[in-house]
Structure 1
Amino acid sequence: MLTPTHLPTSVWATAQANGPKQRRDRYTPTSTTHPARMLPAIAAHAVRTYTRPGQLVLDPMCGTGTTLVEAVHLGRHALGIDIEGRWTAVTRANLRLARTQGATGTATVTTADARTFADPGRHGAVHLLLTSPPYGTAVHGRVDTTRDTGHSGLARYDSSYGTNPANLAHAPTDRLLTAFTAILRTCRPLLAPGAHVVVIARPWRHHGELVDLPSAILAAGQAAGLLPVERCVALLAGVRDGDLVARPSFSQLQHLRTAREAGLPTHLIVHEDVLILRAR
């Protein structure tokens, strides 16, 4: 069996255009209020790589529906689940927009807790589960500076995933991983034999300590009976003449400066880890 440190890997050039440009005219303006949005190019690459037209894609924590929108634009069908009705409403609006733009796939969105979601009619029908759990919430959201507001200090907004106490964004890392394992176990009956599970995550620092979420997610997948097959890198920076062009948010830069002032040898993260598992 391959161990997490010996998995095949590849680099996905998914940020040749920045996030706002990727989303422009393809997603409703309300989508930007979600504190952490998957890059559309990451979702599109995963859908193209691991499915064929007409197959079903599942996102059990769909947020504003990036997975679903990219799937239906590529002629796949999609199923999305999110615990916050606010975000499933935004997802439906994004899917309506996709239909007006000629998307040929269909999608269903449900407001539910994916840990207890059941859909016996779709057992064995899903060929790709693609999702990104909430993590590192301190660096999510948007920030206005004094230059933006005219007032001293920083104004942070759009940093809340929601108010439901069962939302995993409110959970400490150990509970998040336990719950994520439960989600994968609940979703396993929906997966076709050989279906892929693709999870987007990255490490972050909490009170100066590195949280290796990607490795923990691989362990969660194995605990749910899935087989790790790849560990890839999805770039958040553009590639220009052989160099990386970073596009960090203000929050990321602020945390980087704070860490370095505290003596921590922290560097800017310009990629997402892509953990790829397969149903047995």
Structure 2
Amino acid sequence: MSQHNHQEGSFDDAHPHEHPAQPANQPRGAGWSVWLTGQQQARQQRGTRYSRLSVEHPAKMLPAIARHAIRTYTRPGDLVLDPMCGIGTSLVEAVHLGRNAIGAELEPKWASIARLNLEAAAARGAVGQGRVHTGEAARTLAGLTDDALAGKVRLVLTSPPYGSMTHGQVRSRRDGAEAVEKHAHVYSRDRDRRADNLAYQRPHVLATSFTRIMATCKPLLAPGGVVVVTTRPYRKDGRLVDFPGQVADAARRAGLVQVDRCAALLCALKEGEVVSRTSFFQLIETKRLRRVGLPVHVIQHEDALVFTNPAPVATEGSAAA
């Protein structure tokens, strides 16, 4: 995996970067295998663009990752879709970059916050238009297929959830004890929707659900459209789970073709050194597993899996006149 030396522009730079010409079988802008997306801390990247309520989501996409993917694979005026949009990071970054955006989100709370964030983007002068649908991804996308959007989406950008709880936030105990309390670490407290929430599904069910979501995205993609899925491996009972590999298999079963696997950095690179952005709970869990003899390390990147929608195979006699 090669690393490029291109530095990300300032956070408010809305101009897409120029990339070298790529082979015809690669999506426009492909070629950089390492994305320098952790140069600023997540809180700095979000700044005042996002509602304060956004911090309550347990697994927010890093804005620089969304921004890099949008700049690389789309142009102003293109349409970006996130079928599991959470608080709307991919949508907000898209409209600030002059793209239009559509999101679907199962949980009404996160969908409402995504709409607040899009309203804030419009108030700040974002020229793109965005909207959020509340509902289960596959069923919602099936409805969009009938909404004159078939073949119009240039980029599907999303990050599937895994595990009912993630790292979340920490705060000191109010009673003065040394321990800390964990909060903002669950996707949903509504048991009625958990059957549809990928975060609460068993691994084999989750993979099937994600395949169905990707298959429903497929007819919405424009010719030459791209799908970027960001994810990372995780540990369960001390064992490393290759979640990126599971996601890649699911997307291929949906009929997509993988063309790249990039590393979107969560750490910073400064003067040749790595500056960690490790969370409190990552450090605690890493130390705990090392004490029992497991040679684990903290994760410093997201896997950015890149897919395209293959063109239909021409049959004999079907050539255009």
TM-score range, shorter chain: over 0.9
CA distance in structure 2 between the partners assigned to 1:149 and 1:142 by the alignment: 18
Match of 1:19 among 36, 42, 46: 42
Q: Which amino acid in the other structure matches residue 159 of structure 1?
A: H
Structure 1 residue ranges without an equivalent (≥5): none
SS in 2 for 1:116: helix
SS in 1 for 2:139: coil
Match of 1:268 among 295, 298, 304: 298
**2:55 matched to 1:55?**
no
Task: Give the conservation status (yes or no) of the 8 Å contact 1:47–1:71.
Answer: yes
CA distance in structure 2 between the partners assigned to 1:206 and 1:220 by the alignment: 20
Task: Give the conservation status (yes or no) of the 8 Å contact 2:58–2:166.
Answer: no
1:128 deviates by 0.2
Structure 2 residue ranges without an equivalent (≥5): 1-24, 311-321
Task: Output the TM-score relative to the length of structure 1.
Answer: 0.94
Task: Give the conservation status (yes or no) of the 8 Å contact 2:80–2:101.
Answer: yes
Q: What percent identity do the matched residue pairs reach?
A: 47
Match of 2:186 in 1: 160
**2:100 matched to 1:99?**
no
**Which runs of at least 4 in structure 1 moved beyond 6 Å after TM superposition?**
none
**2:242 matched to 1:212?**
yes
Task: Give the conservation status (yes or no) of the 8 Å contact 1:141–1:156.
Answer: yes
Task: Give the conservation status (yes or no) of the 8 Å contact 1:8–1:231.
Answer: no
Q: Which amino acid in the other structure matches residue 47 of structure 1?
A: I
Q: Can you list the C-alpha shifts for 1:139-166, whole angstroms capped at 9, x where unaligned? A: 42112245x8622433111011112222
CA distance in structure 1 between the partners assigned to 2:43 and 2:307 by the alignment: 29
Task: Give the conservation status (yes or no) of the 8 Å contact 2:58–2:186.
Answer: yes
1:279 deviates by 0.8
Q: Can you list the C-alpha shifts for 1:175-195, whole angstroms capped at 9, x where unaligned? A: 111100010011111111221
Match of 2:87 in 1: 64
Structure 1 window deviating more from structure 2 (258-267 vs 149-158): it is 149-158
1:238 deviates by 0.6
SS in 2 for 1:196: strand
1:37 deviates by 0.5
Match of 2:67 among 37, 44, 55: 44
Q: Which amino acid in the other structure matches residue 115 of structure 2?
A: R
Task: Output the TM-score relative to the length of structure 2.
Answer: 0.82
Match of 1:112 in 2: 135
Q: Which has the higher contact order (CA 8 A, sep 6+)?
A: 1
Q: Which amino acid in the other structure matches residue 250 of structure 1?
A: F
> Based on CA coordinates, which of the two structures has the bigger radius of gyration?
2
